[in-house]
Amino acid sequence: MVKDFLPVSRQDMIDRGWEQADFVYVIGDAYVDHPSFGHAIISRVLEANGYKVAILSQPDWKDEKSVCRFGRPRLGFLISAGNMDSMVNHYTVSKKRRHNDSFTPGGVYGKRPDHATVVYGNLIRRAYKDVPVIIGGIEASLRRMAHYDYWSDSVKRSVLLDSGADLLLYGMGERSIIQVADGLNAGIPIKDLTYIPGTVYKTNVLDDLEDTLILPSFDDVRTDKRKYAESFYIQYTHTDPFSGKRLAEPYSDHLYVVQNPASKPLTTSEMDRVYSLDYMREPHPSYKALGGVPAIEEVKFSLVSNRGCFGGCSFCALTFHQGRIVQVRSHDSLLREAEEMTWDPDFKGYIHDVGGPTANFRHPACEKQKTKGVCPTRQCLWPKPCPNLDADHSDYLKLLRKLREIPKVKKVFIRSGIRFDYLLADKDASFLEELCAYHVSGQLKVAPEHVADPVLARMGKPPHAVYEKFVRAYKQMNEKLGKNQYLVPYLMSSHPGSTLKEAVTLAEYLRDLGYMPEQVQDFYPTPATLSTCMYYTGLDPRTMEKVYVPKDPHEKAMQRALIQYRNPKNYRLVREALIKAGREDLIGYDRRCLIRPLKGEAPPSKKQAEKPRKKKKTIRNVHRKIKK
């Protein structure tokens, strides 16, 4: 059989000799047949198991007939909103419309609807009343139970109910999609496919109460923020496939949404098989005339080395989607893919990334996780590394060395981010040395996120002293190697727990570094994160302590402006923030001041001006201004 794209039109089906597709896969992205795109993986896994899949990319959601292109599928419709949540794809944190969409041909905006999973599901339901509809992807995965929706500032029902779908697949889905397909193919009604790990279904009767935890009802979490926090934390502690229990969320009229435990992680051989399937590794050729698909540029020459993350950042949804158990591909699998890259006419000798959610995680955090799963209420790295943590970069180092030796490869970069606290936990400095020597292109991106320990604690990040220790180690290693390389820190403003006091502390730190970032991320409350739960409820679900949450747009603008206090456009916001925080001592002519007084305004008192300036000689000049 000739390697080719899957059918995108009825003519493509005819050319393949198909009379009917087994599944029609409706996606909110352009069709890119590359394993960095979820729809490519699921469709190729189905194909490898003997199923016929047709791709319906970005249908016109205003036209009911748009989902009828291939006719009625034999087994069912699959739906994914795309590689991103459609609302994050469409809106900035200030809820303003974005101007482009990198997952659409030509980067054109507006080719998918808001809440795409719900819209596509209802569109199909109107056209086909009784065909099984199965939803998945990141949007469905993170909205599988009642969830806070930032864009409407309300608690919404499970997306399974609002979409009209029969079944929801959460997580990465390779195992569960085949079990669902095999069940449907065997003639089992979709309403009876209630036993598959990694799925969510709806029912009027709970059969097995022994291993099922009943969550607070939808009405309770919709009206009581404390109940919402309690429900969220139960879900958070039951994401593990080994220890997690079945969860049931009650709705009115004896309706329940039931979440089965997560699918087991893939073995290395299973991961290898998934990434060795017959991907074309590029967008569908019909998009060339439209300018191509911008999103491919970031991943075309990158290698997915791992999945899952035990980092435990509060603002990250990976715990709910990929899980905390790290899964990896073999060296042979990655080397084969890298060698194939070198024959691409567009390859210039640079592998852009070798990583995943966290690049330097190449095995589970400890041996226990392989058979018993993760600790439900303890993190591997926070507030400090677990005594059982296996901090070892040797396997990753061997992989990087092999990749560097491939003919035609000039440089291998690491761009998906490293955990500096995990790096420091490794007593062998070999990885840091080779990272600086071979895998940094002048600057290394890291994510300390903040410098105030109270905020870092809410973020699930290590204390600031750990980051400073890493900065010193990075500086010393580059001096040893005779290299002049910098750090580019990602910083976040307005995270739950951050008052103007902590925002000023961050500004003072940047002043002492002589560094002003040009890119600052306001905290974005996306579904299924601990931080979003804090944002909505004002409670830390881990402890039920009250948390200060900066919600007022003006205060958020002040916190962001403090990080970029040198920008003249931010002067009035910075001045207002300093006055509100009681830090007028930072308005003056002394070197320690952030801004100067207004014209005609009295200078600061002599006592204020003589306050000593904190010095950070050891780490000054290691950070570099981010270029746009």
Whichever domain contains 218, its CATH number is 3.40.50.280
Do 85 and 232 lie in one domain? The reply is: yes
- Work out whether strand 486-493 and strand 521-522 pair parallel, antiparallel, or are unpaired: parallel
What average pLDDT does the segment 434-455 reach? 94
Containing H/E element for 354?
strand 353-355
Do 571 and 621 lie in one domain? The reply is: yes
Residue 236 lies in a domain: yes
Instruction: Give the CATH number, domain containing residue 346.
Output: 3.30.750.210
Do 198 and 135 lie in one domain? The reply is: yes
Residue 528 lies in a domain: yes
Do 127 and 203 lie in one domain? The reply is: yes
DSSP one-letter code for 241? T
> Which tens digit of pLDDT belongs to each residue from 147-195?
999 999 999 999 999 999 999 999 999 999 999 999 999 999 999 999 9
| Whether pLDDT at 574 is above 70 | yes
Do 436 and 503 lie in one domain? The reply is: no
> Which tens digit of pLDDT belongs to each residue from 313-343?
999 999 899 999 999 999 999 999 999 999 9
Do 361 and 306 lie in one domain? The reply is: yes
* Contact by Cβ (8 Å): 512, 506: no
CA 62 from chain centre, in angstroms, equals: 30
Boundary residue ending a domain (232, 259, 286): 259
| Whether pLDDT at 607 is above 50 | no
Do 345 and 233 lie in one domain? The reply is: no
pLDDT at 605: 58
In sign, the C-alpha dihedral spanning 82, 190, 172, 207 is positive
Do 18 and 154 lie in one domain? The reply is: yes
**HSE-up of residue 409 (Cα within 13 Å, Cβ side):** 24
- Residue entry with tokens 């590689």: 83
Range of the domain at 310: 301-441
Do 497 and 568 lie in one domain? The reply is: yes
CA distance 59 to 127: 13
Q: Which residues contact 153 (CB under 8 A, 6 or more apart)?
A: none
Residue 368 lies in a domain: yes
pLDDT at 619: 54
The number of folded domains in the chain is: 3
Helix segments in 485-570, DSSP class H? 500-513, 530-537, 553-563
Residue 453 lies in a domain: no
What average pLDDT does the segment 358-368 reach? 95
Identify the CA nearest to 311 among candidates 251, 258, 257, 385: 385
> Which tens digit of pLDDT belongs to each residue from 30-67?
999 999 999 999 999 999 999 999 999 999 999 999 99
Mean pLDDT estimate for the chain: 94
Residue 423 lies in a domain: yes
Integer CA distances (angstroms), 212 to 161, 171, 230, 248, 282, in order: 20, 20, 16, 7, 43
| Whether pLDDT at 356 is above 60 | yes
Boundary residue ending a domain (259, 284, 309): 259
Measure the N-to-C terminal CA separation of the chain; round to a whole number of Å: 46
In sign, the C-alpha dihedral spanning 215, 221, 224, 230 is positive
pLDDT at 627: 39
pLDDT at 573: 97
pLDDT band at 196 (very low <50, low <70, confident <90, very high): very high
What average pLDDT does the segment 206-235 reach? 94
Do 437 and 327 lie in one domain? The reply is: yes
Share of the chain above pLDDT 70, in %: 96
> Which tens digit of pLDDT belongs to each residue from 492-527?
999 999 999 999 999 999 999 888 887 789 999 999
* Contact by Cβ (8 Å): 197, 260: yes
Q: For residue 620, give the 3-state DSSP assignment.
A: coil
- Work out whether strand 443-449 and strand 521-522 pair parallel, antiparallel, or are unpaired: unpaired
Do 250 and 324 lie in one domain? The reply is: no
* Contact by Cβ (8 Å): 33, 284: yes
Do 601 and 532 lie in one domain? The reply is: yes
Residue 61 lies in a domain: yes
pLDDT band at 254 (very low <50, low <70, confident <90, very high): confident
Residue 289 lies in a domain: no
CA distance 467 to 456: 11
Share of the chain above pLDDT 90, in %: 89
Boundary residue ending a domain (209, 239, 259): 259
What average pLDDT does the segment 101-109 reach? 96
* Contact by Cβ (8 Å): 178, 269: no
CA distance 248 to 51: 32
Residue 460 lies in a domain: no
| Whether pLDDT at 616 is above 70 | no
